[in-house]
A = this chain, B = another copy of it.
Amino acid sequence: MKETRGFHVAVLGATGAVGQQMIKTLEQRNFPIKKLTLLSSARSAGKAVKFKGESILVQEAKPESFEGVDIALFSAGGSVSKQMAPEAVKRGAIVVDNTSAFRMDPEVPLVVPEVNEEDLKNHNGVIANPNCSTIQMVVALEPIRKEYGLSKVIVSTYQAVSGAGSAAIQELKDHTKALLAEEPFEPKILPVKSDKKHYQLAFNAVPQIDVFTENGFTYEEMKMINETKKIMHMPNLKVAATCVRIPVETGHSESVYFEVEKNSVTVSDLQGILLQADGVVLEDDPSNQVYPMPAHAVGKNDTFVGRIRKDLDEENGFHMWVVSDNLLKGAAWNSVQIAESLIKLNLV
């Protein structure tokens, strides 16, 4: 590595869809790295990955892999995180974990820097990166809450397949090609690889992301509900979610209904707030057909907000449409951004 000043950073899950974006994001942000260690399962170890023109060999992750590591970005599945995070922390690393393993652990900060960067100060070695669909929603809601309060959220999502990993992306493409050619195709991964049945996502909409919980909501929906309350420090916020997978490769969209606490708030009040908000790009000009869409959000770190409307019945109710790249703000960028915040706050 050329940098001599900087941090020893490890990426665990370096060959996955999110891991690849983490490495790209570290490069694009010119993150202060003195050494980059790339880790994976035994199956993917041995692959070479480019970083700033150099080729780095991916190694099998072992407890010893974290010796001397300052910051470890984890994105290799919940069970790997549960096993490896304590090993990394024991060796002095700070873990930024992109799985759901520690998100609801009261000892672990769950952080979206635009919303609750200060929570990083209470970390005990592990920081959790929230679920992709939660992150972009709270980025849009927090500036509104700060100014006008927030009492209720009902969200319906339109989620891209890349959240389910590289193999799921390939299955969507292969199935789409087969349908266009009127050839048979047997899905084996979507909607949830580990679940019993597999369904077509190509030219379809599947109202299941992650498996179902006892109350009829999916884990994905319960993540959105519980994580939103934790990140926003609002245990009593009313939140409901319906999570749906649609045939989009990358970029989650959300139809968000919300109620504010102050009266007489207008659409242009909200537009004004969001125009100034960190990490938000306002795209809201219906008369010129300007509104966010996943195809336009791919590859960008921002959260795009538009179609802000006042509810026609509820005095304090509003609707908006929120779009972001689920691999970037929803995962890789938010993780790297947490690492940047740790440096800024002198916590690493």
Binding site for B on A (CB under 8 A): 152, 154, 156, 158, 173, 176-177, 180, 191, 195-197, 199-200, 203-208, 212, 215-217, 225, 238-240, 242, 244, 246-249, 251, 253, 255, 257, 267, 286-289, 291-295, 306-314, 317, 319, 321, 323
Cα-based distance from A115 to B203 in the complex (angstroms):
30
Number of copies: 2
14 sampled A-B residue pairs with Cβ under 8 A: A152-B313, A191-B289, A199-B289, A199-B293, A203-B295, A205-B246, A207-B291, A207-B292, A212-B289, A216-B310, A217-B309, A238-B313, A239-B312, A246-B248
Partner of A158, one of B177, B244, B292: B244
Q: Which of A205, A251, A286 has the most CB of B within 10 A?
A: A205
Assess whether A293 is in contact with B206, with CB atoms less than 8 Å apart. Answer: yes
If A176-B176, A203-B249 touch, does A225 touch B321 (CB 8 Å cutoff)? Answer: no
Q: Which of A247, A255, A294 has the most CB of B within 10 A?
A: A255
| Sample of 11 further A-B pairs with CB below 8 A, known A203-B247, A212-B287 | A197-B288, A203-B249, A204-B248, A204-B294, A205-B248, A205-B294, A215-B309, A217-B312, A240-B319, A242-B307, A257-B257
Residue of B nearest to A291 (CB): B207
| Min CB gap A160→B, angstroms | 9
Residue of B nearest to A192 (CB): B289
| Min CB gap A43→B, angstroms | 28
If A196-B288, A207-B321, A295-B203 touch, does A242 touch B255 (CB 8 Å cutoff)? Answer: yes
